[in-house]
Amino acid sequence: MTVPVGAAAPDFELKDQHGATVRLLDFRGRAVLLMFVPFAFTGICTGEICEMRDSGSDFANDAVATVAVTCDSMFSLKEWAEREGIGYPLLSDFWPHGATARAYGVFNEERGCALRGTFLIDADGVVRWSVVNQLGDARSLDDYRAALAAL
């Protein structure tokens, strides 16, 4: 079961593509668009992270931070971020494998990856909006914009 809207967002502590430790608590005071991505270097996933990159200040500014989480290793994420020019944090949920995705209720046990789940977490750490798509279904940035506007 996914984390319901209105519930406290589960905290996490993961390494980003540079090896730095990132915690959800680090973002307290601003909203977080937490985006789970199934696999680095795949077509839909690359399209989604690049679409976020190209939207720049819509999703990364003083009021909101974008963070992507995948079960790939930190080293894969570093290469993926460099290849695609991603400046926002790509977090590795590699070990314990998928623990953060499980905490949010978006881990696909059969495939060993996260579903396409996105959670909008407010400045106080409460989930205010979410969407979960299956592996082959891309998400819409227009939905993200609408959710942020409603915050």
116: enclosing H helix or E strand: strand 116-121
Residue stretches of the chain with pLDDT short of 70: none
Task: Please give the model's pTM, rounded to 2 decimal places.
Answer: 0.95
Annotated active-site positions, please? 45
**What pLDDT sits at residue 10?**
98
Burial profile 25-41: b = 16 or more Cβ within 10 angstroms, e = fewer? eebeeebbbbbbbbbbe
* Alpha helices, H only, the chain: 43-54, 74-84, 99-103, 141-150
Name the residue ranges covered by the structural domains of the chain.
Answer: 13-150
CATH 3.40.50.1950 for domain 13-150, yes or no, is no
Burial profile 99-119: b = 16 or more Cβ within 10 angstroms, e = fewer? bbbeebbbbeeeeebbbbbbb
**What pLDDT sits at residue 44?**
93
What does the pLDDT look like over 120-147, one tens digit per residue?
Answer: 999 999 999 999 998 999 999 999 999 9
